[in-house]
A and B are shown apart, each in its own frame.
Chain A
């Protein structure tokens, strides 16, 4: 299946991926309305190490610890995509405790959220990838 991969040598650390992600998942059609002056909850984040930057988001692991650890049975795999059922999540953050990539975080409601490849929102393909100016994040089969 196609996943999001990172070419860290090309990452500029501009954080456009974070903004595009937060916008794509806001449900709004105006970026300014969606993001300006508000706390944002992107599902991808930039880390920095000695001047090197790279984006981190859900790896959609083949045998995900979050799925096995969720105390609410709220995380499942559908055709390879790891998904969180917001409606079932109680915000205990056990998934945050077990994700080896630090790729799950609480969203605005307190329920856990993470990258679901923009398959359910209006983008249809990862907005972080589409908006990356330097191809530092790609969406492909590997």
Chain B
């Protein structure tokens, strides 16, 4: 019998619970959650505001999830971790012991030191369900909303509240929207589409000072607003890991088995820094599928099994007002680019005879075939690329490979 302790109650934690229970149905599992909620689907907080889901449907796992998995759920904040004594202390002084610990602490909003930020009465982050509920309460049909940050979080927030606000302005120091996943040309297409739906942009510009309900911009412009949403960026929550003696860079350093540098302590999800297989370098891969897979692998390994993940990479499926965009992998400078623009944009990046990344805007059908070619580093020739740039299909595989895929258990 082991004592498993999980700090955090998001997707990685759910994966960890399921990973542990796939091998060990007996031992105790304790989960410490800083948010007083049942595990919910974090990316759905914008869909909640949009009315595409509700508090019940956005639960990531059913109501009886903890009970069915024999999990003790504690609401509280872990403040101290002693790796030698194998204990974690909560803010209310409660001490929890563990044999194996998994840190699923996620990330928190990064707020630059804006001058006068404290004078803004209605300001919000957009990371948690509580942020979303608080924003909902403050919104009126007349609200002028200023969103600082044109990344995934800022823009999903804009879409979520588009029908519920008077006006929405998004500013970002970057010269384009979604700068982490799109090049400038693709970003311009998405921006134009967002503008068509009433979102205004101030790019290459950001707020430097606030005074009540006025933002003073770097460019000298002034923006009056009623509600401010800060979506500048996020930072991995690594404090507890540092204290436990784990090596920390931008995230908690983990190997391909989610093991930190301290034996018996694992980490998974947005707080961790593992490998990006598309570039071969270390990276915080703060996306939900990654959080689940890392959490599950951590759980399996904590319970004495063996699960190594060597093929994680950035990938995003994101849509705004009906226009979808699918991306994965890397877009290196020296890659050869195959492009088709007969419907939307379809751009494939090829290096060393392998697809290393792609951007599709518009018709994202079967984009998973591209993703699998990137993930599996499948060798491709010129003829394959000509087929693929028009449309992804299993025709790119040799008939015998395809027969295995469609004629056997996979």
A binds B: yes
Kindly list chain A residues whose C-beta atoms are within 8 Å of the C-beta of B41.
71-73
Beyond A72-B44, A90-B44, whether A96 also contacts B367 by CB under 8 A is yes
Of listed B318, B328, B366, B372, residue having the most chain A CB within 10 A: B366
Among all A-B residue pairs, the 5 with the closest Cβ atoms: A102-B366, A49-B395, A100-B372, A69-B289, A99-B368
Kindly list chain A residues whose C-beta atoms are within 8 Å of the C-beta of B1.
none
B289 lies within 8 A of A98 (CB): yes
A8 lies within 8 A of B368 (CB): no
- A125 → chain B closest CB, angstroms: 19
The 12 sampled A-B contact pairs (Cβ below 8 Å) are: A56-B394, A69-B292, A71-B41, A72-B53, A92-B318, A93-B317, A94-B288, A97-B315, A97-B364, A97-B368, A98-B289, A105-B366
B408 lies within 8 A of A93 (CB): no
Question: Which residue from chain A places its CB closest to the CB of B397 in the assembled complex?
Answer: A49
- A60 → chain B closest CB, angstroms: 9
How many chain A residues sit at the interface, stated as a range, is: 35 or more
Question: Which parts of B363-399 form the interface with A (CB within 8 Å)?
Answer: 364-369, 371-372, 392-395, 399
How many chain B residues sit at the interface, stated as a range, is: 35 or more
Question: Which residue from chain B places its CB closest to the CB of A57 in the assembled complex?
Answer: B406
- B21 → chain A closest CB, angstroms: 14
Contact of B326 (CB < 8 Å), options: A59, A61, A71, A96: A96
- A20 → chain B closest CB, angstroms: 18
Kindly list chain A residues whose C-beta atoms are within 8 Å of the C-beta of B364.
93, 96-97
Kindly list chain A residues whose C-beta atoms are within 8 Å of the C-beta of B368.
65, 95-102, 104
Of listed A8, A56, A98, residue having the most chain B CB within 10 A: A98
With A and B bound together, what is the CA distance between A7 and B403 in angstroms? Answer: 8
> CB of A5 within 8 A of chain B?
yes
> CB of B319 within 8 A of chain A?
yes
- A24 → chain B closest CB, angstroms: 20
> CB of A62 within 8 A of chain B?
yes
B44 lies within 8 A of A93 (CB): no
* Given A71-B41, A72-B60, A91-B319, 13 other A-B residues pairs in contact with their CB atoms under 8 A: A68-B296, A71-B288, A73-B59, A90-B53, A92-B318, A93-B319, A96-B365, A96-B367, A97-B316, A99-B368, A101-B394, A101-B405, A102-B392
**Chain B proximity mask over A13-54: 1 for CB below 8 Å, otherwise 0:** 000000000000000000000000000000000011110101
- B129 → chain A closest CB, angstroms: 14
